[in-house]
Structure 1
């Protein structure tokens, strides 16, 4: 444990976040997401929710320029409660988010620097954030 570091940020996850470069992406995904198949680097945090993991990551990770966050478009196109929580955790307004088709989201996952699979059981509890410049807060 370290002072001032959210306990959800394991040493493994912190190492990946530190190694990421500008515009590299981290996916925070729900338990339904095919993370093991798509990830180049996978961190598993069972027993957590996507919003709490995203909030922990945002405590140390600055966001890249717009779009600040990508969320998966729900089946009916509505913004679901878990997505509202993800936006709040990311500290962005809904107009700073981009909603992408599920299969486009999967394609983006292949290029992610790291995927963090949570224990989130609500559907569409997935987000993509891109690392901004350290020392410059864009959100």
Structure 2
């Protein structure tokens, strides 16, 4: 255990977040997501909601402010404009950790899968709510 770090950030996840560079993506996905099929390193955090994992990750990972979008959710199949309750929870965590200038963009299901296939890693949460998937683009830590 380390002081000041969220206990959700175990050695595998913390090492992965540290190893990522500016512009790298990381996916936090639900229990239904085909994570192993993506061909990326998989970190399992079974039993934890995706929103809890997102909050822990954003406690140390800056979002990319050089691009217009740095966080994406998967669109609901057959209704791209549909809003699942978890989407608002994702937004609240992003605003709390990164500020209101960041928005939650969306990607069509297969476009989301393609982006995850290029991600640095995939974190499988214990999220059971449908569409509990989010992609994050790492930014830079600016000097104070």
With normalisation by structure 1, the TM-score equals 0.92
Correspondence for 1:96? 103
- Separation in 1, partners of 2:75, 2:100: 16
Contact 1:87-1:94 within 8 A present in 2 as well: no
- Using the TM superposition, give the Cα deviation of residue 96 of structure 1 relative to its aligned residue in structure 2, in angstroms: 1.8
Instruction: Name the count of aligned residue pairs.
Output: 137
Q: Does 1:87 align with 2:83?
A: no
Contact 1:39-1:115 within 8 A present in 2 as well: no
Structure 2 counterparts to residues 1-139 of structure 1, below 5 A: 1-65=1-65, 66-75=68-77, 76=79, 77-91=81-95, 93=100, 96-135=103-142
With normalisation by structure 2, the TM-score equals 0.89
SS at match of 1:37: helix
- Using the TM superposition, give the Cα deviation of residue 93 of structure 1 relative to its aligned residue in structure 2, in angstroms: 4.8
SS at match of 2:7: coil
- Using the TM superposition, give the Cα deviation of residue 97 of structure 1 relative to its aligned residue in structure 2, in angstroms: 2.1
- Separation in 1, partners of 2:82, 2:20: 32
Contact 2:23-2:137 within 8 A present in 1 as well: yes
- Using the TM superposition, give the Cα deviation of residue 90 of structure 1 relative to its aligned residue in structure 2, in angstroms: 2.0
Q: How large is the Cα RMSD of the aligned pairs?
A: 1.8
Unaligned runs of 5+ in 1: none
